[in-house]
Structure formats: C-alpha cells, structure tokens
Amino acid sequence: MPELPEVETIKNELLPHVVGHHITGITLFWEGIVRQLPVQEFCRHLTGKEITGITRRGKYLIFGLSSYDLWIVHLKMTGALIVGRDSAEPPRFTRAIIHLDNNTGIFFRDPRKFGAMWLANDTGDINRKLGPEPLEAGFTAHVLAERLAKRTAPIKALLLEQKLIAGIGNMYADEALFAAGIHPQRGGGSLSQEEVERLYGAIRRILWAAIGSKGASVDTYFRPDGSEGTAHFEFKVAHGLGGKSCTVCGGPIERIVVRNRGTYFCPRCQAQP
C-alpha cells in the first residue's frame, strides 16, 4: 500500500506535468473509482478546470482546482497515478484517465479497485480523520508521547492509526519499530520517554530516507513515470523479510500478527522488556 513516502513522491513528480494545465475530459473504465454520485456530475465538474496545485495530507492527494474546490485521490491498496501521452495505450488495470490540455493523461491504475476519487469543498473531512503530519515541524517527541499516553493498544497498531499520526502504514511502522528497538506488541502508553524519543527519531529518519529513495516498490507502487522507487532496498525487516537475518544481531527476523496485520521484527533487538 502506498504510504506517506510513496504518496509524497507521486505528488512531487506529478506536479511539473499537471500544474497550470486544464482537464479536458475524463475516461472511466470503471465507474466505481468515483466515490461520488452521480458519476457524470463528477466528470462534468472536473472538465475544463485548471489544476492549480497538489498537496498531500496523510495518504491523500489533494488537487487544487481553478474553481477553488478540490479533487481528492486516495490510492488505497494498489493504486498508482501514471503520467503518459494521452494517446498511449493505457497501462493494464487503468480504471480512469484524466486528460490534460498538454496531450498528457493521468492514468489511474488500480488492480484491486480499492482506490477512490471525489470532489470536496475543503480539507475539513480529511483533517478530521487524521492526526499530525510526522514530518512537519509541529510534530515533536513530546506530541508523540502525549498521543501515546494511556493507550494500551500495541504500538504497532497505534502507528497505523491515521487519527493518531498520519501517513504511516504497515511497512514503515515495522521499520520504525525495528530502528527504535521496540517490540511491536508493547502497549503504546508503556513506552519510556527515551523509547518515545527513539521512536520519534526513527519515524522521521525512515520517512525522509524513503522519500529520498522515491518510495518502496513492493507490490504495485510505481512512480508517475512508471519507474520503481528503491526505498525497499533499505528495509531491515518490513515486507516479507521473514526467514531472513537481522542486520544488527544476525538472528532470524520473525513474523507475527498484530491486530490482523502481518508484522516483521527481530525478537532479540526488539525484546519485550
């Protein structure tokens, strides 16, 4: 699933292709990708509008429009936005094409069809669902400690809670906990101040590094030009490294299930206290 670094990369790399351009039409191969009825109204509203900017909040892409409202995209499990020549053969699993006035198309590719797009007047609904942005200056170790205090749920599950902290998913939660040396099943409120500070530093470091590597191309993530990111080459535990050895202690990486999510960790480096 695209997480903060993947969505940030998509935003950064789409920007030069789309900002200042008008949407000339929309081709839908699967109407269900529009989560707003009637679908024709969505297409009619977007057509003719200029894209004035793109921002990211959590895992949401937010396109500013010349009509002062917003076109929102969530890639969910397997979505990708590929830019290409409008007349090109659409990539396999393309569910929609947003045509632009520069002979470019944005191809919304989504094998599993969980991805979604809709229109909104503002970001109020999104902001209500999301906690702080982990890479913004206002997010400090103190803020993280406050949000974890008194929480008994496993820290792994809490990191995935978008209302607690925005943008982190299964891969980067596992990586951050490994880097901080914290067992994924520890209760959030049980972390010491020092552990929270380690976790805070790990989250920031790992997310920034992954943005620098243009995201992790496990499964179906592609950059807008169709190429792959390389962040997964740096993964120590995440995503299927079960059976491999820990780069720190040499012991086996193990897989457990925490609140229904497959979780990889090193039982020696991330021992329960």
Interface ranges with Zn ion (CB under 5 A)? 246, 248-249, 251, 266, 268-269
Q: Looking at 8, 11, 56, 59, which residue is catalytic?
A: 59
Closer by beta carbon to Zn ion, 14 or else 266:
266
The answer to whether the Cα torsion of 191, 192, 193, 196 is positive or negative is negative
CB of 173 to Zn ion, least distance (A): 17
Closer by beta carbon to Zn ion, 75 or else 179:
179
User: Any catalytic annotation for residue 228?
Assistant: no
Closer by beta carbon to Zn ion, 77 or else 248:
248
- Residues with Cβ within 8 Å of 146's Cβ and at least 6 positions away in sequence, in order, are none
User: Any catalytic annotation for residue 76?
Assistant: no
Q: Give the position of tokens 């109407």.
A: 31
User: Any catalytic annotation for residue 128?
Assistant: no
Q: For residue 31, with 0-12 CB atoms within 10 Å meaning exposed, 13-18 middle and 19 or more buried, which class applies? A: middle
Q: Looking at 3, 6, 175, 195, which residue is catalytic?
A: 3
Closer by beta carbon to Zn ion, 209 or else 249:
249
Tell me the two tokens of residue 187.
């209760």
Gap between the Cα atoms of 73 and 128, Å rounded:
17
Gap between the Cα atoms of 77 and 190, Å rounded:
31
Residue nearest Zn ion, CB atom distance: 246
CB of 130 to Zn ion, least distance (A): 33
Residues known to be catalytic: 2-3, 59, 261
